[in-house]
């Protein structure tokens, strides 16, 4: 079965650089969610999109932005990277508000040096 695909799997950036993370949801899923997970922490909700419109916003820094495209894939853009942005970034997708569950990707490990 198709899963949620995230790219890249690993990313190393220097401080003040920019990064773009991509997420390809399960086909026909209408909602994408982004989460950030620091070492030893629970995943923290960043932002979500339903049918290409932002549906909810969490603790996402102003330096970050995201969008969902016509093919339903989503991109998380991160600028002016800081050391504290080093984390695992997960994308999840769902159908009809999660009534049929949520599927997570394998994540992108971002390291800022």
Residue by residue, DSSP assigns the chain as ----EEE-SEEEE-TT--EEEEEEPPTT--EEEEEEE-TT---EEEEEEETTEEEEE-S--TTEEEEE-TTS-EEEEE-S--GGG-EEEEEEEESGGGTT-EEE---EEEEE-
Under the criterion CB under 8 A, does residue 39 sit at the interface with other proteins?
Answer: yes
Under the criterion CB under 8 A, does residue 42 sit at the interface with other proteins?
Answer: yes
Site for other proteins in 68-107 (CB under 8 A): 88, 90, 92, 94, 97-99, 101-107
Task: Return residues touching other proteins (CB under 8 A).
Answer: 4, 31, 33, 35, 39-45, 48, 50, 55-56, 58, 88, 90, 92, 94, 97-99, 101-107, 109
């Amino acid at each position: 079965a198709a899963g949620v695909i995230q790219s890249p799997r690993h990313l190393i950036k220097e401080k003040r650089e920019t990064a773009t993370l991509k997420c390809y949801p399960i086909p026909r899923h209408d909602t994408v969610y982004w989460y950030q997970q620091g070492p030893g922490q629970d995943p923290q909700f960043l932002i979500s999109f339903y049918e290409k419109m932002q549906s909810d916003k969490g603790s996402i820094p102003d330096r970050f932005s995201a969008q969902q495209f016509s093919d339903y894939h989503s991109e998380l853009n991160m600028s002016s990277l800081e050391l504290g942005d080093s984390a695992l970034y997960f994308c999840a997708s769902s159908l009809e508000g999660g009534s049929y569950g949520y599927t997570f990707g394998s994540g992108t490990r971002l390291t800022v040096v």
